[in-house]
Amino acid sequence: MKIVTAGKSSFRTLNAEVREALETENDVRIEDVNGQRYIGAGLDRGKRLEVHGTPGNDMGAYLNGGAIEVFGNGQEAVGNTMGGGSITVHGHVGDTLGYAMRDGEIYVEKRAGSRAGIHMKEFREMQPVVVIGGTVGAFLGEYMAGGTLLVLGLEKHPDRPIVGAHCATGMHGGRIFVRGDVPEENVSEHISVLRPGEKDLADLDRFVREYCARFGKDFDAIMQVPFQKLVPTTSRPYANLYTPN
């Protein structure tokens, strides 16, 4: 594994160095990362980055099948518009996790900020998945059009609900799973809160096992609490916002 040290270098310098290293290596470790943006952007299938420190905004943007593992916390827009591959964060992340994500999987050990999964979408075999171990902020799954969001709420915050206000505002596709009760006042209009079906339970089993494998958590303990499923009741929540028909 090749090692690149980030330190205070600019994101351009760092990312050029990483790309150069990836030309001859499949595994690259980046150490001492201090907020440099766009790390691993467009990373291709078969390539793997290990990130130590605090990667900057848009880490893994347009990820193209590659894998990124972060030992530290992510900032805003982790996995922005990613089209495939895998991101693992051993820590928490900021706002807009998985923004407009189209395929692949993101596993976050702890909490995520607001607007996680905003504008996620799916198409046939492209079924993106985001798993968040802690709680999430406001606007979870805002304008969500497809894919799966899963919130485990393992580390409760004294002042914060498992899911923040305005959950699933404008959601018109995909599904959100929340472990435990969802505060009713935080769920937007046009959203049904259901019990997961058989296919859902099989998927949940798989996602939670994967979460536990990545972060060394106890699967049985997590599964003791039942899950809720949030789905939109309409595919066009704003069809009549400005006109009656």
Partner 1 sequence: MLKREGEVRIPSGCAISAIIDRDGTRFSGADIIESIALMHDRSNGLGGGFAAYGIYPEHKEYYAFHIFYDDNDARVRTEEFLFRHFDIETFEQIPTRKVKSIRHAPLIWRYFGMVPQSKMRKNDYDADEYTARCVIRINNTITGAFVFSSGKNMGAFKAVGYPEDVGEYYMLDDYKAHTWTAHGRFPTNTPGWWGGAHPFTLLDWSIVHNGEISSYDANRRYVEQFGYKCNLQTDTEVITYLFDLLVRRQGLTLETAAKVLAAPEWDVIDRMPDEEREICTALRAVYSGALINGPFSILVGFKHGILALNDRLKLRSLIQAKKGSKTYFASEESAIRVICPDPEYIEAVDGGTPVFIPFAEVTD
Residue 73 is a binding residue for partner 1 (CB under 8 A) = yes
- Residue 48 contacts residue 70 (beta carbons within 8 Å): no
Window of 3-11, 17-25, 173-181, 227-235 that interacts with partner 1 by CB under 8 A: 3-11
Q: Which of 15, 18, 56, 107 binds partner 1 (CB under 8 A)?
A: 56
Token pair 């799954």 in the structure block, residue? 141
Residue 23 is a binding residue for partner 1 (CB under 8 A) = no
Residue 137 is a binding residue for partner 1 (CB under 8 A) = yes
Q: Tell me whether residue 135 or residue 228 sits nearer to partner 1 (CB atom).
A: 135
Angle at 58 between CA 22 and CA 165, to 5 degrees: 145
For partner 1 (CB under 8 A), the number of binding residues is: 28
Window of 134-142, 211-219, 221-229, 233-241 that interacts with partner 1 by CB under 8 A: 134-142
Window of 32-40, 126-134, 207-215, 231-239 that interacts with partner 1 by CB under 8 A: 32-40
Q: Smallest distance from the beta carbon of 151 to partner 1, in angstroms?
A: 16
Where in 148-187 is the site for partner 1 (CB under 8 A)? 157, 160, 164-166, 185
Q: Which of 26, 34, 233, 234 binds partner 1 (CB under 8 A)?
A: 34
Q: Smallest distance from the beta carbon of 115 to partner 1, in angstroms?
A: 8
Residue 138 is a binding residue for partner 1 (CB under 8 A) = yes
Q: Which of 5, 35, 126, 193 binds partner 1 (CB under 8 A)?
A: 35
Instruction: Give 221-227 contacts, CB < 8 A, sequence gap 24+.
Output: 222/152, 222/154, 222/179, 225/179, 225/180, 226/179, 226/180, 226/195, 227/177, 227/178, 227/179, 227/180, 227/196, 227/200
- How far from each other are the two terminal CA atoms of the chain, in whole angstroms? 60
Q: Tell me whether residue 157 or residue 236 sits nearer to partner 1 (CB atom).
A: 157
* Alpha-carbon dihedral 103, 118, 50, 152, rounded to 10 degrees: -100
Task: Tell me which residue of 160, 168, 73, 151 sits closest to 115, measured CA to CA.
Answer: 168
Token output for 5: 């040290």
Binding site for partner 1 (CB under 8 A): 8, 10-11, 33-35, 37, 53-54, 56-57, 73, 75-76, 94-95, 113-115, 137-139, 157, 160, 164-166, 185
